[in-house]
Amino acid sequence: MAEHEVDLEAEQYENHREAGEILRQVREETADRVEVGVSHLEVAEYAEDRIRELGGKPAFPVNISVDEEAAHATPAIDDDTVFGEEMINLDIGVHVDGWLADTAITVDLSGNPELAEASEQALEAALEVVEPGVETGEIGAEIEEVITGYGFNPVVNLTGHGLGHWEQHTSPNIPNREVSQGVALEVGDVVAIEPFATDGGGKVTEGGKEEIFSLQTDRSVRNRQARRALEQITEEFRTLPFATRWLETDRAEMALRRLKSRGVVHGYPVLKEDDGCLVSQKEHTVIVTEDGCEVTTR
Ligand code: CO
């Protein structure tokens, strides 16, 4: 029987590429705006507006993680937090018609360039080995080797992931350490690879803050604001993550609390290392090709 041919020129891949192209530009422009004294909200809104101007849509709220934070932090409504001399990770996503690209970069204002370099170099090493047939654990082994070579730890309970249609996290996951999963990449797979390096223990835990949510079960709610919020969620975001500050209804925080208590949406608590530690992150999205991969976000 003939092997299934994947058409990498098909429209879905063109959309992935367009999302990646927008994201490459937005990542660089946004990173340039991160400076001591600038507000998180200004930077997040700049990135999200720029994505729309360039013809895409944010695939999830811009994640701005500081120092021990690794993921899922985004500004609250009216947030007035400003950057200090910190390690800042920007994780940004774009979709075109539901087809995604996902990228991240560390902006180091803390004076720890080696930690930022560790996740950058780990990603480069990972990209080198991506090709059809490579096991996801082999990619993780490359990441782990580079990061431990710098004297740091990879964050092992955060992983890269496949990107589906209107889905930000699908299989396969791409571990950040050597682990045998028995899963190999195939031509046409679209995956985000995202090494995290830390001077902490390498395992994140859930913090108290929660600003990012996604739809879990679409069931009716009575409260007017909650109903408005749910309409916007199902039409605009579908199953993609969104921020409280994206909701157009008044009393958005109350509306979300109701949706959460009814099990309609679920929240993503900020994930962090222990206080006093730092985390760096670098991420690209790739399309697996016959002889390697195409990096859509470079
Ligand atoms: Co990602």
What are the structure tokens assigned to 202, written together? Answer: 């390498």
Please state, in angstroms and rounded to a whole number, the distance separating the CA atoms of residues 176 and 198: 12
DSSP 21-57: HHHHHHHHHHHHH--TT-BHHHHHHHHHHHHHHTT-E
Instruction: Reply yes or no on whether 283 is catalytic.
Output: yes
Using the mean position of ligand 1's atoms as its centre, give its distance from the Cα of residue 185 in Å.
17
Give the pLDDT score at 282: 98
Give pLDDT, residue 5.
Answer: 79
Give the span between the Cα atoms of 56 and 60, in whole angstroms. Answer: 12
Catalytic pick among 102, 117, 120, 199: 102
State mean pLDDT over 195-201: 98
194 CA distance to ligand 1 middle (Å): 6
Secondary structure element (H or E) that encloses residue 137, with its range: helix 136-149
Q: Which residues surround ligand 1, an ion (CB under 5 A)?
A: 102, 192
Instruction: Report how far ligand 1's centroid is from the alpha carbon of 283 (Å).
Output: 7
As given in the structure block, the two tokens for residue 223 are 């409260």
Residue 16 falls in the annotated catalytic set = no
For residues 170 and 207, the answer to whether their CB atoms sit within 8 Å is: no
pTM of the model: 0.96
Q: Ligand 1 center to residue 98 CA distance, Å?
A: 15
162-190 pLDDT, tens per residue? 999 999 999 999 999 999 888 999 999 99
How much is the average pLDDT of 250-278? 96
Give the CATH number of domain 11-204+275-295; options: 3.90.230.10, 3.40.50.300, 3.90.220.20, 3.30.70.1230.
3.90.230.10
* CATH for the stretch 212-270: 1.10.10.10
What DSSP letter does each residue of 54-81 carry, written as one string? TT-EEEEEEEEEETTEEE---PPTT---
Q: Classify 161 in phi/psi space as left (phi over 0), alpha (psi -120 to 50) or beta.
A: beta
Both structure tokens of 133:
């047939």
Model confidence pLDDT, tens digit, residues 18-56: 999 999 999 999 999 999 999 999 999 999 999 999 999
Q: Matching CATH topology for 11-204+275-295 and 212-270? A: no
Do you find a cis peptide bond into 58, omega within 30 degrees of 0?
no
**102: annotated active-site residue:** yes
Residue of 18, 67, 117, 194 marked active site: 194
**Separation of CA 54 and ligand 1 centre (Å):** 21
Q: Average pLDDT of 239-264?
A: 95
106 Cα to the center of ligand 1, angstroms = 14
Per-residue confidence at 4, pLDDT binned at 50, 70, 90?
Answer: low
pLDDT digits 0-9 by tens, 91-134: 999 999 999 999 999 999 999 999 999 999 999 999 999 999 99
User: What is the mean predicted confidence (pLDDT) over 230-239?
Assistant: 96
128, 176, 238 from 193: Cα distances, Å: 12, 9, 24
Dist. CA 167–CA 148, nearest whole Å: 32
The pair phi, psi for residue 195, each rounded to 5°, is: -70, 140
Concerning whether 194 is annotated as a catalytic residue, the answer is yes
Q: Note if 178 is an active site residue.
A: no
Residue 146 has pLDDT above 60, yes or no: yes
State in Å: Cα 191 to ligand 1 middle. Answer: 9
Catalytic residue among 144, 161, 189, 199: 161
Burial 59-77 (b: 16+ CB within 10 A, else e): bbbbbbbbbbbbbbbbbbe
Q: Is beta strand 99-108 parallel, antiparallel or unpaired with respect to 167-174? A: unpaired
Provide mean pLDDT across the span 149-167.
97
- pLDDT averaged over every residue in the chain: 96
264-273 average pLDDT score: 97
Mean pLDDT of 266-273: 97
Hey, which residues does 283 pair with through a beta bridge?
104
Q: CA-CA distance, 96 to 295, in Å (whole number)?
A: 17
Report CA(1)–ligand 1 centroid distance (Å): 36
Q: Locate the domains of the chain by residue range.
A: 11-204+275-295, 212-270
Catalytic residue of the set 45, 124, 169, 266: 169
- Confidence at residue 1, expressed as pLDDT on a 0 to 100 scale: 43
